[in-house]
Amino acid sequence: MRIDLRARSMLLVCVTVAVICFSHPGWLLGVVGCELVSMAVLGVQLTGAGKMLRPMLVIMAVVWCVTVFVPPLRFLNDPVLGQVLFTLGPATATWAGVAAGGMFVLRMVAMLLATWIVLADAEVDEVIELANHWRLPPSVTTVITCSVATVPRLLARREQIAEAQTARGIQGRGTVSAWRSAVALMVPLIVTCMATAQDMAIALSMRGHGASRRMTVMSRLVWTPRDRGIFAVALLVTIMVPVVRFGLGWGSVLTTT
């Protein structure tokens, strides 16, 4: 089920506002759960989101482990969160650290999932037409469309180079070998980037890029009742989130607010 880019962008805005306003891990977990349900309803593949999350798992784990022992000071000042869980040498783990670490990790997961919802079915023509609709400068439109079109190809090229290195027995075992394999990976990838940039520059020149303020598009964005409904619901939730957080005082990890 294909969703209009404007409706998906509104979903991204909604999630962004939610993760900024809410700090309680329970509420952020609810945001992630709503995203997963939305992905299932909209037919967005979870495998692509898993590929985005997999490289970040180590970073998330490190952030959470460090934050458990070094939470923000405003969390420690809370009478409930300041309670000590256990000590490990000179380090002290508190409920404040657990809550802060969960908040950071869940915010990262929520934003990655929201980004995947937008990019899962994004096409260059959609981006160009949306940029024209918003009257963005041609240079900005070019950067966005080139990124959308080129980054996936470069990632695929990187995988091909890595597989070729593995087949030739070039693997990073140890610090020195890891650096060598990284250099062997980066050199052909940089050459590929330069060749791709040259080809894109020639293509833009041949098509008269910059001669007009509008870029030629092969398709038009069309609103459907379903897209309007998704946009309206996302907009309503975006408006309600600050009301719930700051008007009713819900969604905060601090018990003193």
Residue 36 lies in a domain: yes
Tokens representing 256 are 């003193």
Q: Is residue 240 part of a domain?
A: yes
Structural domain includes residue 168? no
Q: Cα(29)–Cα(106) distance, rounded to whole angstroms?
A: 7
Rounded-to-integer distance, Cα 164 and Cα 102, Å: 39
In a domain, 248, yes or no: yes
pTM of the model: 0.67
For residue 112, give its domain range: 1-122+223-257
Helices (H), 88-174: 95-119, 124-133, 138-167
Query: Distance between CA atoms of 177 and 140, rounded to whole angstroms?
Result: 40
| Pick from 168, 192, 191: nearest CA to 180 | 168
| CA 154, 155, 157, 158 torsion-angle sign | positive
* Within a domain: 252: yes
Closest CA to 44 of 13, 108, 12, 1: 1
Which residue do the tokens 């020639």 mark?
202
Whether 214 maps to a domain, the answer reads: no
Instruction: Note whether residue 237 is domain-resident.
Output: yes
Q: In a structure prediction context, what are the per-residue pLDDT tens digits for the chain, which is 257 residues long?
A: 577 778 888 888 999 999 998 888 888 999 999 989 988 888 888 887 787 788 788 888 888 888 888 776 666 666 666 677 777 777 777 777 788 888 888 999 999 888 888 877 767 667 667 767 777 776 676 776 677 667 777 777 878 887 877 777 766 565 556 666 677 777 788 888 788 777 777 776 666 655 555 555 555 667 788 888 888 999 999 999 999 888 888 887 765 54
* Count: domains in the chain: 1
In-domain check, residue 132: no
pLDDT of residue 74: 66
- What DSSP letter does each residue of 175-209 carry, written as one string? HHHHHHHHHHHHHHHHHHHHHHHHHHHHHHHHTTT
